[in-house]
Chains A and B, each alone.
Chain A
Amino acid sequence: MPVSNIYVTIFQTFPDKIPDTIFTILLMLAGAVGITVLAALLALIGVYLERKISAHMQDRLGPMHVGWHGVIQTLADALKLLLKEDIVPAAADKKLHLLAPFIVFSATIAAFVVLPFSETLVLSNLNVGIFYVVAISSFVVIGIILAGWASNNKWSLLGGMRSAAQIVSFEIPASLSILVVIMAVGSLNLGDIVQFQNGGILHWLIWKSFPFNLIAFIIFFTASLAELNRAPFDLPEAESEIIAGFHTEYSGMKWAIFFLAEYANMFLVAVIASTLFLGGWSSPFGNFMNYGIFSIFWLFVKSFSLIFIQMWLRWTLPRVRVDQLMYTSWKVLTPFAFLCMIGVGLYMIF
């Protein structure tokens, strides 16, 4: 049932008992709750997948006891985390220690609202969609820095600073590779970007202006791994050097919120990557199953494939050093991203 039908049904039930203002607020709250629940569910699935995939890559079985092949293991873990004691270090800055996880989580959820899940199912069809996602993600950096500082722990502070330096550096190649897509489509709207690629696998932007968009996709994927603080770029949490980085001093539900935000962010990046380069919700086989609920199916297939690659890389590659990290961003990814931009520009001229 499309969203508009629900709207109409509610409106018919209560014709003029509810004032317009309250009705709008309620509708927006419903949307916010829906998106938050979706993000939480995806995070649960993501954690389970990570544990299973990492286990199988290391010739283990992973969680097996709670439910069939441990499918409700993460649910049990979430329950455990809810009941755990919340420990705040005595020397920590209490207010900011509490505020930081919520900034990180709400920024992640705020980015979710513009994701197009199908042609009609998009919570807010923003005109500046992709730009909004890039901008709102910068709140995550602030949250991480604050978490690192407020814990009053040198490992936390180091983790927070590493994270800030890393995200700020990798934002540049990521934004430049997004720009490559925007140049081809001529719109910042995520819905328009998908419409542009509608009509099968050969229309995907990854093949356009060959090979520049393909390189741009690889740059975006690499840079997004670094922005997610995931291996091989997980220096902010390098456990052999700085314990757990910015969330060393977090426990219980606050730690769970960081974890939730990380996995929700993984999904967010995967959806953005598949929307920009892999046709988003459009079917890879032209008009075959290219409508209604199948759009959501295709988007999830593409996103979870990318999430699988993220996990695959994490459990395959060792962690890079700080200097290697900066080298990758400034001397490899950024120049090549500029090269892609020039290449696509040349394609557009000739």
Chain B
Amino acid sequence: MGFYDLIFWLFAFISVASAALMVFSKNVIYSAVGLLFAFFGVAGIYVLLAADFLAIIQIMIYVGGILVLLLFGVMLSHKIGGVQLETGTLHKIPAFIVVGGIFIILFRVISKTVWPLGTAAKEFNPTVEKIGTLLMTDYLIPFEIVSVMLLIALIGAAYIARKERVQ
């Protein structure tokens, strides 16, 4: 087993184990910590696939942005531990059918896809410049639409959060 494989299994283990912690923990803060390490593990796998820019973006957006906001909100909530995860009405049989169906479809997709094995790490090309060029040429319109949508969301959030003006 080479060095590359060793690191891959390490990050894979971190991702899966912390994702499991996130899902099965009854303490919301522990779930958030699980999420933190899951993001970290996935970023590590991105690096191994030679997607350096994506890995950094993963950390920056999910850890630096979303997880901080999540923790910020959760810390203020009164009930942290022992949260009852089941809702009042249960539909166990339909749930099993839907989940089983999704599992079969995903399994088929995974087993039918031809995966490019062991090619990514051998040629490490910087991706930042290519992503930048593509965003400014072929994908300019989607890029601009997304930025306008984010701006609208920002204005909307500020509008909802601001105090009503006293007449």
B75: chain A residues within 8 A (beta carbon): 145, 148-149, 157, 160-161
Pairwise interchain contact B72-A171, C-beta atoms closer than 8 A: no
Pairwise interchain contact A127-B72, C-beta atoms closer than 8 A: no
Distance in Å from the Cβ of A161 to the closest Cβ of chain B? 7
Q: Does A25 contact B (CB under 8 A)?
A: yes
B126 nearest CB neighbor, chain A only: A127
* Contact of A138 with B68 at beta-carbon distance under 8 Å, contacts A131-B56, A157-B75, A161-B75 already known: yes
B81 nearest CB neighbor, chain A only: A93
Partner of B52, one of A21, A126, A136, A161: A126
Q: Does A196 contact B (CB under 8 A)?
A: no
Q: Which of the four size classes fits the interface of chain A?
A: 20 to 34
Partner of A146, one of B33, B53, B56, B60: B33
**In residues 44-58 of chain B, which contact A (Cβ within 8 Å)?**
52-53, 56-57
Q: Does A58 contact B (CB under 8 A)?
A: no
Q: Would you call the interface of chain B mostly helix, strand, loop, or mixed? A: helix
Number of A-B contacts (CB under 8 A): 77
Among B2, B67, B75, chain A packs the most CB atoms within 10 A around the CB of B75
Pairwise interchain contact A99-B68, C-beta atoms closer than 8 A: no
B59: chain A residues within 8 A (beta carbon): 135-136, 138-139
* Contact of A128 with B56 at beta-carbon distance under 8 Å, contacts A21-B6, A24-B3, A25-B3 already known: yes
Pairwise interchain contact B128-A128, C-beta atoms closer than 8 A: yes
CA distance A188 to B60 in the complex (A): 15
Q: Does A142 contact B (CB under 8 A)?
A: yes
Pairwise interchain contact B52-A139, C-beta atoms closer than 8 A: no
CA distance A151 to B5 in the complex (A): 39
**In residues 126-172 of chain A, which contact B (Cβ within 8 Å)?**
126-128, 131-132, 134-139, 141-142, 145-146, 148-149, 157, 160-161, 164-165, 168, 171
Pairwise interchain contact A20-B3, C-beta atoms closer than 8 A: yes
CA distance A350 to B55 in the complex (A): 35
Q: Does A238 contact B (CB under 8 A)?
A: no
**In residues 76-90 of chain B, which contact A (Cβ within 8 Å)?**
76
CA distance A145 to B29 in the complex (A): 11
Pairwise interchain contact B72-A128, C-beta atoms closer than 8 A: no
Q: Does A96 contact B (CB under 8 A)?
A: yes
**In residues 12-64 of chain A, which contact B (Cβ within 8 Å)?**
20-21, 24-25
Q: Interface size (B, Cβ < 8 Å)? A: 25
A131: chain B residues within 8 A (beta carbon): 53, 56, 60
CA distance A148 to B29 in the complex (A): 12
B128: chain A residues within 8 A (beta carbon): 127-128, 188
* Contact of A142 with B36 at beta-carbon distance under 8 Å, contacts A21-B1, A135-B60 already known: yes
A171: chain B residues within 8 A (beta carbon): 64
B36: chain A residues within 8 A (beta carbon): 139, 142
B75 nearest CB neighbor, chain A only: A149
Pairwise interchain contact A132-B3, C-beta atoms closer than 8 A: no
Among A21, A99, A148, A161, chain B packs the most CB atoms within 10 A around the CB of A21
CA distance A102 to B2 in the complex (A): 29
Q: Does B16 contact A (CB under 8 A)?
A: no
Distance in Å from the Cβ of B127 to the closest Cβ of chain A? 8
Pairwise interchain contact B53-A128, C-beta atoms closer than 8 A: yes
Among B36, B53, B56, chain A packs the most CB atoms within 10 A around the CB of B56
Pairwise interchain contact B2-A132, C-beta atoms closer than 8 A: no
CA distance A23 to B167 in the complex (A): 73
Distance in Å from the Cβ of B140 to the closest Cβ of chain A? 17
Q: Does B42 contact A (CB under 8 A)?
A: no
B6: chain A residues within 8 A (beta carbon): 21, 25
Q: Does B63 contact A (CB under 8 A)?
A: yes
B52: chain A residues within 8 A (beta carbon): 126-128
Partner of B64, one of A25, A126, A141: A141
CA distance A160 to B56 in the complex (A): 25
Pairwise interchain contact A168-B68, C-beta atoms closer than 8 A: yes
- The 8 A-B residue pairs whose C-beta atoms are closest, nearest first, are A138-B64, A135-B60, A135-B59, A127-B126, A21-B3, A135-B56, A138-B63, A145-B71
28 of the cross-chain contacts (CB-CB < 8 Å) are A21-B2, A24-B3, A25-B6, A96-B30, A127-B52, A127-B126, A128-B56, A128-B126, A131-B53, A131-B56, A131-B60, A135-B63, A136-B59, A137-B64, A138-B59, A139-B36, A139-B63, A141-B64, A142-B63, A145-B72, A146-B29, A146-B71, A148-B75, A157-B75, A160-B75, A161-B76, A168-B64, A171-B64
